Amino acid sequence: MKRIDDPRAFGRVAVVMGGRSAEREVSLDSGRNVLAALKARGVDAHAIDGIPALLDAVRAGHFARVFNILHGQHGGGEDGVLQGALQSLGIPFTGSGVLGSALSMDKVRSKYVWMALGLPTPKFVPLTRGADAARVHAAAREIGFPLIVKPACEGSSVGVSRVFDEKDLDEAVALARRYPGDLLMETLIEGNELTVSILGREALPSIHIVPKGAYYDYNAKYLAGDTQYLCPGLQGDAESELRALAMRAFDALGCSGWGRVDVMRDRQGRNWLLEANTAPGMTSHSLVPKAAAAMGIEYKELCWRVLETSFEGDAA
């Protein structure tokens, strides 16, 4: 991986944040932190809100590269659309390219790829957003309770429900349908929640997330102070195996640069891949900064290293 020691080598950097997705507020929070960190390290970094403003500025020749901290799809900037636009303009950017971004945004198709390679992911049934009640209930019987219903293409746990009983199924599906795109239903894995951050070609120490409530919801992720984070999440061979699995899962989706892979570990110690994130949160509560800190990489250094990955991208 290319290492940079002079901040001028990055040129003028756009930190693109905000946008129009459901995760706008989280992205703004991440973006402000990244911007401050890069500036503190002497990088000529500037905030830009959303894709249209970014593309105008890039076409006007204002920026040499982009730190992408948009989250989500449909103007969210994490789904490949922004990556394609920047690539076509020859502007390097942080994180995955078109394919890795688009595949990771779609949980159903991510699972198809993992399954084809024999990587473990919970049993699931994809549902179109128009699926009728009969189809929904048949899918639930196929999966069995307890199960999880979630939008196929959202993040930050929005629209995700745990369903223990058929009587709660319709409400869970209605909630997931509030978000654009298709849905998926999958086996609820009871056990521990872990996440593995990827930086460059390396998997960082895993984090075991121990929420106060039933699971890691939006509130626990961004607001509550009572979630516990254990890092590394596992010890010895179990930790090495988890990191290796996360790296394989990330590579399988064509991801690069940096990101995070979410995993559930069941009571038998089996790991199950949930999803990959190609522009994960960088707020004060976020997980990648915690994993980096466990390696002795403080926040400003982390932002610098992520920016360095822009030299690896297809447009670089």
Ligand X SMILES: Nc1ncnc2c1ncn2[C@@H]1O[C@H](COP(=O)(O)OP(=O)(O)O)[C@@H](O)[C@H]1O
**Out of ligand X, Mg ion, none, which partner does residue 182 contact, by CB within 5 to 8 A per kind?**
none
Mask for 121-160, x = binds ligand X (CB under 6 A): -x-------------------------x-x---xxxx--x
User: What is the C-alpha separation between 4 and 305, in angstroms, rounded?
Assistant: 9
**Out of Mg ion, ligand X, none, which partner does residue 216 contact, by CB within 5 to 8 A per kind?**
ligand X
Closest CA to 51 of 77, 13, 83, 84: 77
Question: How does DSSP classify residue 14?
Answer: E
Q: Hey, which residues are catalytic here?
A: 23, 156, 222, 260, 262, 275, 277, 281
Cβ(224)–Cβ(175) under 8 Å? Answer: no
Which one, 98 or 152, has the nearer CB to ligand X? 152
Which one, 13 or 207, has the nearer CB to ligand X? 207
Contacts of 118 (CB under 8 A, 6+ apart): none
**Out of ligand X, Mg ion, none, which partner does residue 122 contact, by CB within 5 to 8 A per kind?**
ligand X
User: What is the C-alpha separation between 51 and 21, in angstroms, rounded?
Assistant: 11
Helices (H), 166-298: 169-177, 218-222, 236-252, 287-294
Which one, 159 or 313, has the nearer CB to ligand X? 159
**Dihedral sign, Cα of residue 204, residue 209, residue 215, residue 218:** negative
In the set 23, 154, 193, 262, which binds Mg ion (CB under 5 A)?
262
**Out of ligand X, Mg ion, none, which partner does residue 23 contact, by CB within 5 to 8 A per kind?**
none
Q: If DSSP states are collapsed to H, E and C, what string results for 222-244?
A: HCCCCCEEECCCCCHHHHHHHHH
Q: How many residues bind Mg ion (CB under 5 A)?
A: 1
Residue 262 interacts with ligand X (CB under 6 A): yes or no = yes
Which one, 7 or 211, has the nearer CB to ligand X? 211
| Interface with Mg ion (CB under 5 A) | 262
| Interface with ligand X (CB under 6 A) | 122, 148, 150, 154-157, 160, 186-189, 193, 215-216, 262, 264, 274-275
